[in-house]
Amino acid sequence: MPFCEVNKYQNGIDATGNNGTKIFYRTYGQGPVKVLLIIGLAGTHSSWDPQIKALTGTITPNDDESPAGDRSSGEGGGGMEVCAFDNRGMGLSSVPTKKSEYTTSIMAKDAIAIMDHLGWEKAHVFGHSMGAMIACKLAAMVPERVLSLALLNVTGGGYECIPRLDRQTLSIAVRFLKAKTPEQRASVDLDTHYSKEYLEEYVGTKTRKAVLYQEYVKGISASGMQSNCGFDGQINACWTHKISRADLESICSAGFLISVIHGRVDVIAQLSHAKRLAKKLYPYARMVELPGGHLVSHERTEEVNDALLELIKASASKISPYDWTNLPMKTSGSLTRKSSPEGSRSSVMVDIIGMLQMFLVFFFGLFMLAFEYMRRGISRLKPVRVNAALT
C-alpha cells in the first residue's frame, strides 16, 4: 500500500512532531495537472470520491507499484492526476499519541511531504473543513507551489470552530461524544453532514437518510472508528488553528485564485466565518454559497465539482483576480495597504467581542443542556420516591 514517510522529506525543525509518521495516500488519473485533496476531521481519503470521479473520470486508484514518474507523466494536454490521503490520526495513517503532534502547521507539512514524495512541484490544493484549514497553512508556507486554492466549509479555527448553538446542535454534540459503534456514529454523522431537507428527500421508496445510513455504516466499519488519540489530536489542530496577517499576506502575494465554497445551513462551520475569511483574501477569492450542510461536496456534488473545475480552468487562463472575484470592492483595510492603528485596534476589539459573545452563548447552551438532563432525571425519580413512601 502507498505510504509517505514524512521524515524522509523533512529535516531539522520541519521534522518536529513526526516521530516516524507515515501518511497513507492514493493517486487517481493521469496527466500534467496535479490536484491535492485534503479531507477534514475524522474523514478519510475516500470522502473525496465524488470530486475524484469528476476530476479524473475514475475512483479506481492508480497501480500502487507504478513509479511516481510514470504516474505524473500523464497523457494528453488536459489530463489530471489527483492525490487524496488520510490525515495523521485517521484511517490507515499513523496515529501520534501526543496532542502537540497535531496542528494544522504540522499537518500542512505532511501534505507538502506527499507532494515531494510524488515529485509534484506545484498543485491545485483543495481542502474541506479541517482540511481547508490545513490547505490555508500549506498555501501560506509554500505559496509558490500552489496553483489555486479551494476552501470548502472552512472557518478561521479557534473559537470559530464552535458550531451553531441551539438545542439540535448540542444534542448532536452529545450523541457524537457517546457514539461507540459504527451504527451510532453513522446516525449522528448524517445529522451533522447534511441538511434536514436533503435527508428527507425520497430516493425511490426510501428516504435519502435511510439509504445513506447503510452506506455510512459500511464505510465506518471498513475504515474503523477513529481512535481517541486521533480524535483528540485533530480537535486540537482545529482549536489551535489561526491564520495570521502574515499568513494572509503570504497567500495573497502569490496571486493564485481562490474559491471559498460553503453550505448555507452548515451547523458545524458557520457561513459567516467563511465569508469573513473570503473578504480577507480579496481580490483573489470568490465566494460560492450553496444550499446544503457541512458535507456540501456530497449534498451538492454537481455544483461543487463545477466550481472546482471552473477554478482550475480560470487559473490556467490566468484571468485577473478582479475578473474572478464576486466580492464587493474593498475601499480600505485591504492587505495591499497598511491599515491605520485606529483600524487595527477596532478590528481587534471586534474579534474580542465576537469571541466573548460566542463563549457566552456556548456556555449558556451547555448550562441549558445540563439543566434539561437534570430535570428529566428528577422527573424519573419522583415515582420511585412515592412508591417507596407507600411501602
Report how far residue 205's alpha carbon sits from residue 199's, in angstroms, rounded to the nearest whole number.
13
Position 74 pLDDT exceeds 70: no
Structure confidence at residue 10 (pLDDT): 85
Question: Phi and psi of 364, rounded to 5°?
Answer: -65, -40
Count Cα neighbours of 180 within 13 Å in the Cβ-side half-sphere.
1
Position 177 pLDDT exceeds 50: yes
- Cα of first residue to Cα of last residue in the chain, in angstroms, is 68
Residue 249 cell numbers, joined: 499576506
Position 340 pLDDT exceeds 80: no
Count Cα neighbours of 315 within 13 Å in the Cβ-side half-sphere.
27
What is the mean pLDDT of the segment spanning 274-280? 98
What is the mean pLDDT of the segment spanning 330-354? 48
Structure confidence at residue 179 (pLDDT): 85
pLDDT for 316-335, tens place per residue?
A: 999 999 999 999 987 554 45
Position 143, amino acid: P
- Among 114-123, 128-137, 166-175, 265-274, the minimum mean pLDDT is found in 166-175
**Confidence at 16, pLDDT banded by 50, 70, 90:** low
Position 32 pLDDT exceeds 60: yes
DSSP 78: S
Burial (Cβ within 10 Å: 0-12, 13-18, ≥19) of residue 305: middle
Position 208 pLDDT exceeds 70: yes
Position 17 pLDDT exceeds 80: no
**Confidence at 390, pLDDT banded by 50, 70, 90:** very low
Position 259 pLDDT exceeds 80: yes
3-state secondary structure of 105: helix
Position 365 pLDDT exceeds 70: no
Structure confidence at residue 64 (pLDDT): 55
- Among 22-36, 41-55, 340-354, the minimum mean pLDDT is found in 340-354
**Confidence at 14, pLDDT banded by 50, 70, 90:** low
Residue 211 or 74, more confident: 211
Name the packing angle between helices 228-240 and 130-141 (round to 10°).
Answer: 60
3-state secondary structure of 325: coil
For cell 482550475, what's the residue? 312
Position 37, amino acid: L
Position 341 pLDDT exceeds 60: no
Position 361 pLDDT exceeds 80: no
Indicate the average pLDDT of the chain.
Answer: 85
What is the mean pLDDT of the segment spanning 225-251? 95
Position 347, amino acid: S
| Strand runs labelled E in the chain | 3-5, 22-28, 33-38, 80-85, 123-128, 146-152, 202-203, 206-207, 257-263, 285-290
- Among 32-36, 156-160, 384-388, the minimum mean pLDDT is found in 384-388
Position 310 pLDDT exceeds 90: yes
State percent of the chain over pLDDT 90.
Answer: 67
Position 266 pLDDT exceeds 80: yes
Structure confidence at residue 385 (pLDDT): 44
Residue 360 or 17, more confident: 17
CB 96 within 8 A of CB 17: yes
Position 211 pLDDT exceeds 70: yes
Position 185 pLDDT exceeds 60: yes
Q: Could you tell me which residues come within 8 angstroms of residue 168 by beta carbon, excluding any fewer than 6 positions away? A: 191, 267
Q: 3-state secondary structure string, 160-194?
A: HHCCCCCHHHHHHHHHHHHCCCHHHHHHHHHHHHC
What is the mean pLDDT of the segment spanning 52-76? 68
Position 131 pLDDT exceeds 50: yes
